[in-house]
C-alpha cells in the first residue's frame, strides 16, 4: 500500500483578506509536513498537495471544517513518494489565470456549464449533435486528449477568450468542455454561455476523475499534471499513445521541460533523444551556459532568475516553473 497521497482540488469561494489567508494557510500546511503548490485568490483556492495519508486526511478535514469550502472535491492519488519537494502557498489575482476578472461577465459561483459526471460525459460525448472541447494548453493536449476532441492553439489558458470567434461555427452544437481537474472549465464554460452558446456542459472533476470513475475510455495518451510526476495514465480500457518526440518524431509518452531554464519549454522527447540532446529541445539550449543537469526525468525545481523589470509579463511565468492548475 502506498505511503503517500497527492490531492488535486479547487474551490470557487469568496475569501476575505485572501493575502493573509495564504500566509496562514502556508504555515498550516507546513505544520502537517505537506508539500505542494496552492494558489489563493479572492475568488477561492486551487491546489495540489502531497504527504502522508494521515496528513492528507487532516488537510481535507480542515478544508471541510471551513464552511466556505464545503463544495471542494478532492481527487486523491496514492503515490510512492511525495509529488513535490517544497510547500508553496501564494496569493494571486485569480486561482487560474484567465484575465476574466469582471464578475458581471464571469462568476463561476453563479453560472457555469452543466456539470456532467464521468459516466454521463462518456454516454454523451459521441452523439452527432455534440462537440468535445479541450480548453487546455498546447503542451497538455499534445500529450493526451479525448478522441475526436477539438483542441485550441493556445500557450496558456489566458489565451482562451481570444479563441471564442473560432468556435462560433459550433454554436448549433452541444459543447462538452473538459480539462485536467475541472477548474478551467468553470470559467471557459461560463464565457461560452456569456458569448451566446446555448448548450454548454463540462466534465465534472476533469480528466482525472474520468479516469477513476469511467476507466478513461477514449482518452488517448496521458494526462499532463502539474507536479513532478509530469504525466499520469488515465485510460485502462482502450489506451493508445498519441504524442510524438519533438526531435525525431518517434511515438513517445514522455513529457519534459527543456533543461535550459531560460527556455523551459514543455515538450515530448523520447529517451534516445533525451540522451543525445541532454534533455534540451535544441542545440542552442544544449549549449546554453545555464543548462541544468539532465537526470532523465525532465523535472526541475525552481531556479532563481534575474527579473527584467521592463518585462513584467514574464514575472509570473518565472515565479514558478510549473504553475498549479486543475
Residue range 139-197, pLDDT digits in tens = 999 999 999 999 999 999 999 999 999 999 999 999 999 999 999 999 999 999 999 99
pTM of the model: 0.86
Gap between the terminal Cα atoms of the chain: 26
Task: Give me the percent of the chain exceeding a pLDDT of 90.
Answer: 83
Query: Where are the extended beta strands (E) located within the chain?
Result: 4-12, 35-41, 44-52, 75-79, 87-91, 114-116, 130-134, 144-146, 174-178, 200-203, 219-221, 223-224, 231-232, 255-257, 266-268
Q: Of 14, 18, 21, whose CA–CA distance to 103 is shortest?
A: 14
The DSSP code for 262 is T
Catalogue the active-site residues: 179
Residue pLDDT, tens place only, 54-87:
999 999 999 999 999 999 999 999 999 999 999 9
SS3 134: strand
CA 182, 184, 187, 192 torsion-angle sign? negative
* CA–CA dist 74, 76 (Å, integer): 6
pLDDT for 325 beyond 80: no
Tell me, letter by letter, the H, E, C secondary structure of 29-78.
HHHCCCEEEEEEECCEEEEEEEEEHHHHHHHHHHHHHCHHHCCCCCEEEE
C-alpha cell at 88: 508553496
Give yes or no for a contact between 227 and 36, defined as CB atoms under 8 angstroms apart: yes
Residue pLDDT, tens place only, 253-265:
998 999 999 999 8
Domains of the chain: 4-91 (3.30.70.100), 114-232 (3.40.250.10), 255-319 (no CATH)
Give yes or no for a contact between 127 and 174, defined as CB atoms under 8 angstroms apart: yes
Return the pLDDT at 300: 81
Q: What are phi and psi of 199, to 5 degrees?
A: -125, 105
Amino acid at each position: 500500500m502506498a505511503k503517500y497521497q497527492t490531492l488535486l482540488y479547487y474551490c470557487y469561494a469568496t475569501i476575505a483578506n485572501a493575502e493573509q489567508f495564504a500566509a496562514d494557510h502556508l504555515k498550516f500546511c507546513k505544520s502537517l509536513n505537506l508539500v505542494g503548490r496552492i494558489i489563493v485568490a479572492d475568488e477561492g483556492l486551487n491546489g495540489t498537495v502531497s504527504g502522508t495519508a494521515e496528513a492528507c486526511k487532516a488537510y481535507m478535514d480542515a478544508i471541510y471544517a471551513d464552511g466556505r469550502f464545503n463544495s471542494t472535491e478532492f481527487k486523491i492519488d496514492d503515490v510512492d513518494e511525495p509529488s513535490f519537494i517544497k510547500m508553496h502557498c501564494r496569493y494571486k489575482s485569480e486561482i487560474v489565470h484567465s484575465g476574466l476578472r469582471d464578475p458581471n461577465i464571469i462568476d463561476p459561483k453563479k453560472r457555469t456549464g452543466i456539470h456532467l459526471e464521468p459516466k454521463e460525459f462518456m454516454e454523451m460525448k459521441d452523439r452527432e449533435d455534440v462537440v468535445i472541447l479541450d480548453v487546455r494548453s498546447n503542451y497538455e493536449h499534445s500529450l493526451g486528449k479525448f478522441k475526436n476532441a477539438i483542441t485550441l492553439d493556445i500557450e496558456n489558458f489566458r489565451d482562451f477568450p481570444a479563441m471564442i470567434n473560432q468556435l462560433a461555427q459550433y454554436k448549433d452544437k452541444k459543447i462538452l468542455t473538459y480539462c485536467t481537474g475541472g477548474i478551467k472549465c468553470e470559467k471557459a464554460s461560463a464565457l461560452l454561455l456569456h458569448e451566446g452558446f446555448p448548450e454548454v456542459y463540462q466534465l465534472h472533476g476533469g480528466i482525472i476523475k474520468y479516469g477513476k470513475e469511467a476507466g478513461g475510455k477514449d482518452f488517448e495518451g496521458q494526462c499532463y499534471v502539474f507536479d513532478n510526476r509530469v504525466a499520469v495514465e488515465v485510460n485502462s480500457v482502450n489506451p493508445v499513445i498519441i504524442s510524438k518526440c519533438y526531435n525525431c518524431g518517434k511515438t513517445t509518452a514522455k513529457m519534459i521541460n527543456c533543461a535550459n531554464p531560460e527556455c523551459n519549454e514543455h515538450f515530448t522527447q523520447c529517451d534516445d533523444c533525451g540522451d543525445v540532446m541532454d534533455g534540451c529541445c535544441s542545440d542552442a539550449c544544449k549549449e546554453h551556459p545555464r543548462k541544468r543537469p539532465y537526470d532523465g526525468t525532465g523535472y526541475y525545481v525552481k531556479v532563481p532568475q534575474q527579473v527584467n523589470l521592463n518585462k513584467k509579463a514574464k514575472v509570473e511565468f518565472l515565479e514558478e516553473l510549473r504553475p498549479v492548475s486543475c
